[in-house]
Structure 1
């Protein structure tokens, strides 16, 4: 993506580098394209893609809408109500972004017929039942659910230390908060080390090491956590009522909030799906009633945060 974007002439001198082949004199070159490693490169890449989509909102409205609303860096995730709609969207997205020099690949769908017209070399090559990865979360497209994997490396040199604790906890990617009750335990243990003044490479005290070892052992059970990918698993025209509900709770060590989407579909059936969750360790010197109020505040913020991206006709909100 980066190398498809030209750099302004006046900025190219800031991206000079020296090249020496070992025999001839040292040569000075400068980059003409946006390169990897610059802090501004992700912003420039996404800004360019979004600007390209905005310019084509009239000629390709659906594809432009998906790019503007559902694309994050080089990942685009969306849903369609039918195979035919998905096939049309694939063609529109491919044409829209190709016209700007951006060629889509690694297509994946839980419905194989949706990608029938896509060349095999442009599809994701997930084999052996191994789920693919999108936006930091593993997606098993055969069962159409989100899941998690045990981190491969969770034991850096040095044994159980504060440094190793932070490294291991950071290996678990959970942007939606599906593992919030599990990850908050690591946050609490990490906070307790700061309260004790432990150094980064100092062995953990026994009262912290024991629950930490248990936490690491439970990482092997992460694949057992499976959540449906689709928040609205039926066509929107079949839903009678959509509600958004948030709940929160607090203790002396942590507080958190969670948002659920409640769907009512004919003939009177109800579906409830997790939307997002967040946890925070408790700030010192705050009373339990104050922490309960903090949970209420953050749950209201969570509702506001998820309400916009959902873009659904939500009839009732409770918090």
Structure 2
């Protein structure tokens, strides 16, 4: 994606690099003319170009532009349609829209096999079973999607038993839990509260925490094993024919950390 975005000539001197095949002579000076990996502004530049392209699309690509602007996170796009024919139309429209920017859309995946039948196999995503015998899943938006059952699932890697419980190590491990949709907020809030207490204790970055705090942190990491049992429906909608007037989110926090639940309630008139 980055290499499809051209850098204007006035900015290319800031992307210079040296190349030398002969140590006896002066190196040659080159300039990148495309957005490169490793530059901290590259994600922003790629997203800016993608969004500006979507805004200039013709009305015939209105649905594709909506997906590109409202349902795309970095280079992952997720959207929903009601019928196979709508899905095929969206696939063709999005493919053509991105082609106009010189970009190819790949790794398509759907819970409807009929829809995948309209997409070349080389452009489809390859699903993997993380434990070898479980349901197929693919990573998207930082979380796992079980396309067969249309569920989001979660996996967490707990630290080894011999990890030193220091402020820096704990914060580093907490940051590995990527939850852009907020499904794990009831779990992550416990870690944030622990970090507040660690800061209040005056602990330095690399000093081992007191036994009581260390024990509670280890327990929180152990509780993360229960995340694999949580599945959240990908599609959330009211009963057919009903129009929700008010939508409420209810979060329950039982004393047992392994039973964290998130339920959604839609009121229909």
- 1:180 aligned onto 2:188: no
Judging changes above 3 Å, is the alpha-carbon distance between structure 1 residues 130 and 247 closer, same or farther for their aligned structure 2 residues? closer
How many Å separate the matches in 1 of 2:167 and 2:60? 55
**TM-score using structure 2 length:** 0.86
Deviation, structure 1 residue 59: 2.9
Verify the 8 A CA contact 1:154 1:171 in the aligned structure 2. Answer: no
- The CA deviation at 1:11 is 0.5
Structure 1 residue 21: Cα displacement: 2.4
- Is the partner of 1:59 in helix, strand or coil? helix
Matching of residues 125-140 of structure 1 within 5 Å: 125-128=126-129, 129-140=135-146
CA 1:147–1:68: 2 relative to 1, 3 Å: same
**Long gaps (5+) in structure 1:** 250-257, 265-314
1-side partners of 2:234 and 2:121: how far apart? 24
> What is the CA–CA distance in structure 2 between the aligned matches of 1:198 and 1:133, rounded to whole Å?
36
Counterpart-to-counterpart distance in 1, 2:184 and 2:21: 51
Does residue 266 of structure 2 align to residue 262 of structure 1? yes
Query: In structure 2, how many angstroms separate the alpha carbons of the residues matched to 1:2 and 1:157?
Result: 40
Q: Distance in 1 between matches of 2:51 and 2:161?
A: 40
2:259 maps to none
Structure 2: runs of 5+ lacking an equivalent: 130-134, 253-261
Match of residue 52 from structure 2: 51
Aligned length: 254
Say yes or no: does 1:69 pair with 2:70. Answer: yes
Give the Cα–Cα distance (whole angstroms) in 2 for the partners of residues 22 and 220 of structure 1: 55
Determine the structure 1 residue equivalent to 2:212. Answer: 207
SS in 2 for 1:214: helix
- Residues 95, 105 of structure 2: 8 Å contact kept: yes
Q: Could you tell me which of 208, 215, 231 is aligned with 2:236?
A: 231
Q: CA deviation at 1:194?
A: 0.9
Asked if residue 146 in structure 1 is aligned to residue 152 in structure 2, the reply is: yes
Match runs of 1:1-319 below 5 Å: 1-23=1-23, 25=25, 26-128=27-129, 129-151=135-157, 154-155=159-160, 159-232=164-237, 238-245=241-248, 260-264=264-268
- Cα deviation for residue 38 of structure 1 reads 2.2
What corresponds to 1:254 in structure 2?
none
CA contact (8 A) 1:231 1:261 kept: no
**Alpha-carbon spacing, 1:197–1:101, altered in 2? closer, same or farther (3 Å):** same
Pick closer, same or farther for the CA change 1:156–1:171 going to 2, 3 Å: farther
Residues 211-220 or 239-248, more deviating: 239-248
> Where is the strand percentage greater, Structure 1 or Structure 2?
1
Give the 3 Å change call, closer, same or farther, for CA 216–158 of structure 1 in structure 2: closer
Shift of 1:234: 5.7
Query: Residues 54, 262 of structure 1: CA spacing in aligned structure 2 closer, same or farther, 3 A cutoff?
Result: same
User: SS in structure 1 opposite 2:139?
Assistant: strand
